[in-house]
Amino acid sequence: MHRHRAGLLQSVPHRDEELPRMVGVLRAAYGKHVGEPVWECYIRELTLASEEFGELWARQEVAPARSALKVFRHPVVGELRFTAAYLTLPAVPEHYMVVYTPQGPQDRERVERMAALPPQPSARCPH
């Protein structure tokens, strides 16, 4: 697995619970696009890139997008806890917007500290 992606996955503390749910949400969206070349290619690429994704995909579990607690680890500010609310867009039924709201004052303070950090070069976009 690509080093950047592996690091990103490790930043999700409850990944054993989150990854199956995330794959289930993707499978729910895929259900409306079965056989479409772009979707089939995307699923194939994910399966080739990650044995874990392939195993989760093979379970054929479907999960709805729903509000949930999301916990992330930031290397400088530490653990960040958010409520993730999934909002549907009536004009485009297959799309939704996710709004992340810090859970409490400590999380808000950590977000402010994180926002004040100097920008870091992205592993995906070399400068």
The amino acid at 61:
E
Instruction: Report helix, strand or coil for 33.
Output: coil
Per domain, the residue ranges of the chain are 1-64, 65-119
Q: Which amino acid is at 100?
A: Y
Residue pair 95/110 in contact by the 8 Å Cβ criterion: no
Buried b (16+ CB within 10 A) or exposed e, 85-119: eeeeeeeeeeeeeeeeebeeeebeebbeeeeeeee
| pTM for the structure as a whole | 0.57
Question: What's the pLDDT score for residue 41?
Answer: 94
**pLDDT tens series, the chain, 127 aa:** 333 344 444 566 677 888 898 899 899 889 889 999 999 999 999 999 999 999 999 999 998 777 778 888 899 999 999 998 888 778 887 787 889 999 999 999 999 999 999 987 765 555 4
Residue-wise pLDDT tens digits, 77-90: 999 999 988 887 78
